[in-house]
Structure 1
Amino acid sequence: MVLVLLPPSEGKTAPISGTKLQMDTLSFPTLNEIRERIAQSLITACVLPDQEVLAILKSGEQTLPDIRANLHLYESPCAPAAQVYTGVLYEAAHLQPHDAAIIVSGLFGLTTAHDKIPLYRLAMNVRLPDIGSVAHMWKQALSGMTLSAMQHAAGSHDNVVFDARSAAYQVWPVAKNPLLTHIPDDKDDNNPWPFWTLKALNNNGRTITHRAKYYRGLMARTLLDAGTITNSQVPQYAHQMASTHGLGRPNIDEAQRIITLTV
């Protein structure tokens, strides 16, 4: 099964019932110390007056209900991450708890689709008052993380990795990370970068950002449904996805493993 790397989503569905947050039940337990530090700092920040909290978390007033939920991180019910995240990418991906996905987030660092989490609000580009940059903390914490550890946690057994993360969540791998070992490929055994990515352009050749999340979700779902595949087969699935959803013929750069849609 393909491994998919995902960002979280700003849009979330609050679990109605379920167990409370238990960090020690999450995948990647070595991250728990950092998770606890960030969670406690987030809770402390959310006690501040609304306008101060909104400024810290770089959010608008419409997000106040989610921000107030931060005060109850350890008391709120939890559900699988695949069911909590419901933004545009997740709408397209129809992510299921059993899918081989790793979600990179500001609060938890790395989780699988089946890890149980509560409603919360924290972007990766935030600086919390007492610990500083959340992104910097995760870059340091994840610097020793291997791709094989992610594959094992997510239940992925293929050499294919699709990276659907937005720029803010690309805190792993650190550039030229020696622990990011080369993944052998049936077609090109010398490709040092194993990740496939997708970008979307408008008819003027300009990059589309928000809607690109939806197309990445469609591609993620297509690859997750493909079963066991090789990197040389990814282009045919990209064409299949585009055809199924009435999109233009994608341009495939197999050397750089970039799928480009013009929409």
Structure 2
Amino acid sequence: MIVLLPPSETKRDGGDQGAVLDWDRLSFPELTQPRQAVVSAVSELAGDTEAAQRALGISAKQLFEVERNRTLATAPVMPALERYTGVLFDGLDAATMTTDERSFAHETVVVHSALFGPIGAGDPIPAYRLSHNSKVPGLPLKKHWRVPASDALAGLGGLQLDLRSEAYAQLGAAGENSAYLRVVTAGADGKRVALSHFNKKSKGLFTRALVRAGIRHSTVDSLLEWANGAGFQLEHGAPGELDLVVENA
């Protein structure tokens, strides 16, 4: 089983001072060429601070993000699982993982980056700023990533649990045997309502529980049986989807 996660706009600083971005250390080597094209375009864009600010949709207080993009090739790297911060990754809490849990996460968790496409949780990456809707001149991200990212994910095979936002899912389709997970709550009338505030937190906690259990589910039925035994209310939703039902509190 593979768990597909969205990235986070916020990143942790620092990393291994003795290592920089190395294409050969990233998962999905077939994506090296499209990755290099995006990194080159983003680095070049960072040479014009005002243009980069507009393209990234950031404020004057976030101009450090432009510097991050300017130094992509020389900045220190750290595993993606540790690089990303924010609500989802706080719930995943990589810092407290055991050696076995971290190894399992590195083997089963894939983060879909706008800069690098799909990457493994253990892939060493620098801090950067690029979102699914960033306007990189001459390089529309959806068009650039859709085919190569979809092909890369299709090549994984097996069950893929897709926790990405719909926006990141548009950068590349999950494999044929996939289930899209939605975080929902039951409204007063009993109808399912998608959550926004607790969406990322719930996905992070659910992924952490999957990593802790260390089970490679091959079918949705196996996943459902485990989830409900582990204290989660996971149910079939719309065709091809699963509903993670949580309390809206």
TM-score where L is the length of structure 1: 0.77
Question: Which structure 2 segments of 5+ residues have no match?
Answer: none
Q: CA deviation at 1:251?
A: 5.0
Aligned twin of 2:59: 60
Match of 2:120 in 1: 112
197, 212, 225: which one aligns with 2:199 = 212
Q: Which residue of the other structure, out of 133, 136, 147, is the alignment partner of 2:140?
A: 133
Shift, 1:207, TM fit: 2.8
Counting aligned pairs with the same residue, the percent is 25
Deviates more, 1:60-69 or 1:103-112: 60-69
Report which stretch shifted further, 55-64 or 67-76.
55-64
Give the stretch that moved more between structures: 60-69 or 30-39. 60-69
Do the aligned residues in 2 keep the contact of 1:164 with 1:220 (CA within 8 Å)?
A: no
Given the superposition, is the C-alpha separation of residues 143 and 228 from structure 1 closer, same or farther in structure 2, using an over 3 Å criterion? closer
1:63-107 deviation per Cα after TM superposition (whole angstroms, max 9, x unaligned):
322221111101110011111011211111224652111111111
- Determine the structure 1 residue equivalent to 2:168: 169
TM-align CA RMSD: 2.5
**C-alpha displacement of 1:255:** 5.7
Which residue, 216, 222, 227 being the options, matches 1:228?
A: 216
**Does 2:16 match 1:17?**
yes
Go from structure 1 to structure 2 and tell me whether the alpha carbon gap of 1:256 and 1:35 turns closer, same or farther (over 3 Å shift). Answer: closer
Stretches of structure 1 lacking an aligned partner (at least 5 in a row): 152-158, 175-179, 184-193, 244-248
TM-score by length of 2: 0.81
AA aligned to 2:135 is R
Relative to structure 1, is the Cα distance of residues 211 and 38 closer, same or farther in structure 2, using a 3 angstrom cutoff?
same
Give aligned pairs, total. 231
Q: Distance in 2 between matches of 1:233 and 1:62?
A: 47
Letter in 2 for 1:49: T
Query: d(CA) in 1 for partners of 2:15 and 2:216?
Result: 35
Contact 2:12–2:84, Cα closer than 8 Å, also in 1: yes
Superposition map of 1:42-121 within 5 A = 42-50=42-50, 52-95=51-94, 97-98=102-103, 99=105, 100-121=108-129
Q: Does the CA contact (< 8 Å) of 1:202 and 1:208 recur in 2?
A: no
Distance 1:70 1:3 in 2: 29
User: How many Å separate the matches in 1 of 2:85 and 2:27?
Assistant: 21
1:10, 1:216 → 2: CA distance? 16
Residue type at the aligned position of 1:17 = D
Give the SS at the match of 1:90.
Answer: helix
Query: Residue 183 of structure 2 is aligned with which of 195, 199, 209?
Result: 199
CA contact under 8 A between 2:182 and 2:194: conserved in structure 1?
A: no
2:58, 2:35 → 1: CA distance? Answer: 21
SS at match of 1:125: coil
Q: Which residue of the other structure, out of 133, 152, 156, is the alignment partner of 1:150?
A: 156
